Chain A
Amino acid sequence: MRTKKILIITCGKFEKKTTNHVRESVTRVLGLATDLKECSLDVSEFYHPARRQYNADRLLETMSARAPVEYMKCMSLFRGDLFIPILTYIFGQAQLNGRIGIASPYRLRNELYGLKEDNNLMLERFSKVVLHELGHTFGLIHCKNTLCIMRSSTYMEDLDQKNTEFCRQCSEKLQVELDKVLHKH
């Protein structure tokens, strides 16, 4: 029997402040409770030395096999820089209409771009990435509304521009999907 909860899995050391921010955002925006679990995955085997990045496709595949079946959706948080073979980097990715998503705050820090450190802004960005990927697991595709959290974001500016919420159209689609999932449970 699955719970009506979302599981947040941390792979590597994350500050409590970070996980709390993510969990609160998920609960506030999706209206779903979360559980937190640490994972002792050895990420070195996903490391690509030439690119000095972690292969997100393989991480997603591995986490999919490890995700506890009792949770509605599972979101894994990694500290490293993620890539997929065709792209130079990604902030996160998820299975469309699936159960698993992954996200990393690596490229969300101001310092990486020579800007002044802003931890609160980084947390805000990270929660947006997590919610965006969870949106995909509920079947939502990229939205054209610049303020919607489902807007495709490839740059920091895109992330900062959008709100930490779904636009009306995406909210309606999400509600339909949530009703389906909750009804099934």
Chain B
Amino acid sequence: MAQQVSILIVDDEESVRDSLYNWFIDDGYDVDCAEDGKAALNKLESRDFDIVLADIKMPGIDGMELHKRVKALSREPVFIIMTAFASVDTAVQALKNGAYDYVTKPFDPDDLSHLIRNAAKQVQLEAENLNLKESISSLADVEDIIGESEALQKVLKDVEHIAQSSSSVIITGESGTGKELIARAIHSNSSRRYFPLISVHCGALTESLLESELFGHERGAFTGASFTRKGRFEMADGGTIFLDEIATISPKMQVELLRVLETKSFMRVGGNKELSSDFRVICATNRDLKAMVQTGTFREDLYYRLNVLNIKVPPLRERKEDIPLLVNHFIGKYCKSMSREKIVIEPAAMRYLANLDFPGNVRELENMIERAIVVGNGREVRLRDLPLGKEAINSSVESLDELEKKHIVKILDKYHWNISRSARALGVDRATLYNKIRKYELKEE
């Protein structure tokens, strides 16, 4: 570390500059000197220094003024003030202005060594901190958002801009397009990234469960409430709350949600204490909320409260050029999770996939790849490992909706209408399966 730390010595006395220069050079630091504040600023503009050791009394720009100007630089060095006058007032002022430390000339050699060693440690810690922050945000952001298509790049650009604000966001897009991944990307690129991202799948919960889930409940608030429980709004304090399937919430919950969004305060179910929380709301839906507003099934005021910013995630059929990248990504992902060597895909299988419309979007493609790897020969993904392809060809005379409906009925019957198992088999979540059941008006016979 010592070899990498750079020090700029600023003093109008040549002997001081030379002494310090020799002392620090012997310690292996990268050292430069400036005879006054102006020369120091010139040097600081042309290159970065980790530590600036400046005399407080200099002609022209003095040490305190130099410190003020140094603070305006894009990369602020650790600033240490030197003075021949041991004045408590100037020491306090220097520290108040943000100087790292204050030393009185002449120094005890041991004090000087310790001072610089500690300052170097500070530089090292700041650099480490920065690297860690960068690595955290790069790890958490868009790892699973794969694609180079123009449509997806536009979405990512929107994510970048939207992440900078704290306004509510609505993410729209068909089921399986990756709306939750987009919400995660917005959160992990925002200033709230060091606080939690709390996800709530509104479609999977009944009205009373959703209320308890969002607002929390006090002990004894209802049968089975044996403990006080924090709600999701409380948990999201400082961070982001992601409300998936927002279109499915009941009119009563729409009113409650609007109130929370307006006041950022709420009460736990069964509680009488007003709680407040600072969160950002990101919602997602595969429905047309505006149309729902017109038909009166979604509150207009809530719609406008939520729809400050919006992102539309394109369906996979509108970015087919991304299919090969996604296929390779998922092959890599599942081979890794199954502790296998990465396998390849037969060109015919890739061609076939690249031409599919994927009504279930990326999720459907991902499930197809996972299945193909499981049933395949372990060396490559072959066309014959993609059974859905066969069905799709056979049913080419039917609409995709018809095909989807038939497949869902088949799976539901297979699992005796067990929603969890059927959803798992279909590779969708329970909320989506419920939506499909509603959409196709399916009933157990």
Proximity bits, A44-83, B CB within 8 Å = 1, else 0? 0000000000000100000000000000000000000001
Is the Cβ of B106 less than 8 Å from the Cβ of A87?
yes
Asked if residues A88 and B19 are in contact (CB atoms below 8 Å), the reply is no
CB B305 to nearest CB in A, in angstroms, measures 60
- A86 pairs with B110, CB closer than 8 A: no
Flag whether A152 is at the interface (Cβ < 8 A).
yes
Q: How far is the CB of A88 from chain B (nearest CB, A)?
A: 5
Q: Judging by beta carbons under 8 Å apart, are B26 and A136 in contact?
A: yes
Give the interface SS of chain B, mostly helix, strand, loop or mixed: helix
Interface residue A84 (Cβ < 8 Å from any Cβ of B): yes
A85/B110 in contact, CB under 8 A: no
Cross-chain contact A87 with B23 (CB below 8 angstroms): yes
Return 20 A-B CB contacts under 8 Å, by A number. Answer: A57-B19, A84-B22, A84-B23, A85-B16, A85-B105, A86-B20, A86-B23, A86-B107, A87-B108, A87-B109, A87-B112, A88-B106, A88-B108, A90-B109, A141-B25, A141-B26, A142-B27, A142-B28, A154-B108, A154-B113
The answer to whether A11 has its CB under 8 Å from any CB of chain B is no
Quick one: which of B26, B27, B106, B110 contacts A83, CB cutoff 8 A? B106
Chain B, range 80-137, C-beta contacts under 8 Å to A:
105-110, 112-113
Taking CB atoms and an 8 Å cut-off, the chain B residues in 324-362 that contact chain A are none
Further contacts, 18 of them, CB under 8 A, given A86-B107, A88-B106 = A83-B106, A84-B15, A85-B13, A85-B16, A85-B19, A86-B15, A86-B19, A86-B20, A87-B107, A87-B108, A88-B108, A96-B22, A96-B25, A141-B26, A141-B28, A142-B26, A144-B2, A154-B110
Residue numbers of B with Cβ under 8 A of A are: 2, 13, 15-16, 18-20, 22-23, 25-28, 105-110, 112-113
Residues of B within 8 A of A87 (CB): 19, 23, 106-109, 112
Do B109 and A89 have beta carbons less than 8 Å apart? yes
Bound-state Cα–Cα, A85 to B14, Å: 10
Asked if B107 and A88 make an inter-chain contact with CB atoms under 8 angstroms apart, the answer reads: yes
User: How long is the Cα–Cα vector from A93 to B112 in the complex, in angstroms?
Assistant: 16
**Is A155 positioned at the interface, with any CB of B under 8 Å from its CB?**
yes
The answer to whether A152 and B26 touch across the interface, beta carbons within 8 angstroms, is yes
Count residues of chain A with CB under 8 A from any CB of chain B.
18
Complex contacts, A136 vs chain B, CB 8 Å: 26
What is the 8 Å Cβ interface bit string for chain A, positions 111-131, against chain B (1 contact, 0 not)? 000000000000000000000
* A57 cross-chain contacts in B, Cβ below 8 A: 15, 18-19
What's the nearest-Cβ distance from chain B to residue A136, in Å?
6
Among A96, A142, A155, point to the contact of B110 (Cβ < 8 A). Answer: A155
Q: Is the CB of B113 within 8 A of A93?
A: no
Cα distance, A144 to B23, chains bound together (Å): 15
B16 and A86 within 8 A (CB):
yes
Are A88 and B109 touching (Cβ within 8 A)?
yes
Instruction: Let me know if B28 and A93 touch, CB within 8 A.
Output: no
User: Which residues of chain A come closer than 8 Å to B16, judged between CB atoms?
Assistant: 85-86
Chain A residue contacts of B28, Cβ below 8 A: 141-142
Closest residue of chain B to A150, judged by CB? B26
Cα–Cα, bound, A154→B115 (Å): 13
Please give, as numbers and ranges, the residues of chain A lying within 8 Å of B113 by CB-CB distance: 152, 154
Chain B residues whose CB sits within 8 angstroms of the CB of A152 once the complex forms: 26-27, 113
